[in-house]
Amino acid sequence: MRLSIELEATDGQARAGRITTPRGVIPTPVFMPVGTRGAVKLLDTMDLDALGPPIVLGNTYHLMLRPGSELIAGQGGLHRFMSWGGHVLTDSGGYQIFSLSPKITEEGARFRSVYDGAFVDLTPERSVRIQQELGSDIAMVLDVCPALPAPRAELEAVMERTLRWAERCRAVHDRPDQAQFGIVQGGVDPELRAVSARRTVDIGFDGYAVGGLSVGEPRHEMVPALAAATAELPAGQPRYIMGLGDPVGLVEAVRNGIDMFDCVLPTRLARHGTALTSQGRLNLRNLRHATSDEPIDPGFAHPLTSRYSRAYIRHLLVAGEPTAGRILTLHNLAWLADLVARMRQAIVEGRFEAFRAGIWAQWAPGETPLP
């Protein structure tokens, strides 16, 4: 299912558009909340309905272990299983290759299950089959993401393996109502990123992702590598950077032509008592909030969360009540969706650079924006 993006406006390389699938329309730029095991942590599907994201992300590795893709397929697929009418993108398990240090061979990767310690084998072909059983709208190829920094020889070897695995994934993908995205690798080496992007496009996917960035490298190294990749990707197809969710990172990604992004940052921060606000991060565990009747962010009103005072949320946090994490998760996802909507409007109105400068001033005070 070859996806296209209808561009409604551009401002430099920044794009505002619409991705149309058999399920509906995804306005871009778009942030995808992460629902690793078929749910965004602390939220249910009615919460997602209220928040209104057009697409959420699920993880192949976790879902294949529990409850298993065959069980989900027997329940009518992931959408019906989680009672969600919006879009779903499934990761391939490639992030676990980065984070769980499995044994990697040309055939695939061998992990130990995070649940029972049993060995689990994941090949490119098995990753495709599992995602087809899950029935996601967009499926990712299985890739290898190197830890950074890494020698160029290692980055090149990982890139070549990812390309070989991408060819294997493309060869066996045969679900016509599911799009499949290729993934560009190459570390922070702009030349390798450009080569990887060109060769991934030559394989011919329904959309393209940039993986292996936002894994701890400095922003001044990440952005040139990202720019080198997006310069080689088709303008008429969706572009996705994986695992990016901080406000400055998002505006830099959009400035370089990215349409889609996901990250656990907003939900993880929420569970630890931190809110995203128009003044930056706000740690609601701090004593200074103990008697504050202010809302979480006076500059951002949302019907799901604005009724609660900082004093009340701090009380819940100190008391260990999970309701605090739920309220802050709702707030952070709503706040980030609003940020992306405002970014989109800035592109449409031709004032993206001014918007970007404002985000840098709020979220990276004292830093000089990248040229």
Looking at the annotation, which residues are catalytic? 91, 262
Q: Residues 6 or more apart from 181 whose CB is under 8 A from it?
A: 138, 139, 140, 141, 205, 206, 207, 208, 209, 238, 240
> Ramachandran region of residue 281, left (φ > 0), alpha (ψ -120 to 50) or beta?
beta
Determine the Cα–Cα distance for residues 259 and 237; give it in Å rounded to an integer. Answer: 10
Q: How far apart are CA 310 and CA 275, in angstroms?
A: 10
Q: How is residue 274 annotated by DSSP? A: E
Report how far apart the first and last C-alpha atoms of the chain are (Å, whole number).
37
Quickly tell me which residue has 């940052």 as its tokens: 265
Whether the CB-CB separation of 304 and 333 falls below 8 Å is answered with no
Contact 256, 227 (CB under 8 A): yes
Sign of the CA dihedral running 223, 228, 233, 235:
positive
Specify the residue for token string 């995205």: 181
Q: Quick one: residue 31, left, alpha or beta (phi over 0 = left, psi -120 to 50 = alpha)? A: beta
Burial 191-201 (b: 16+ CB within 10 A, else e): ebbbbbbebbb
146 burial type by CB count under 10 A (0-12 exposed, 13-18 middle, 19+ buried): buried
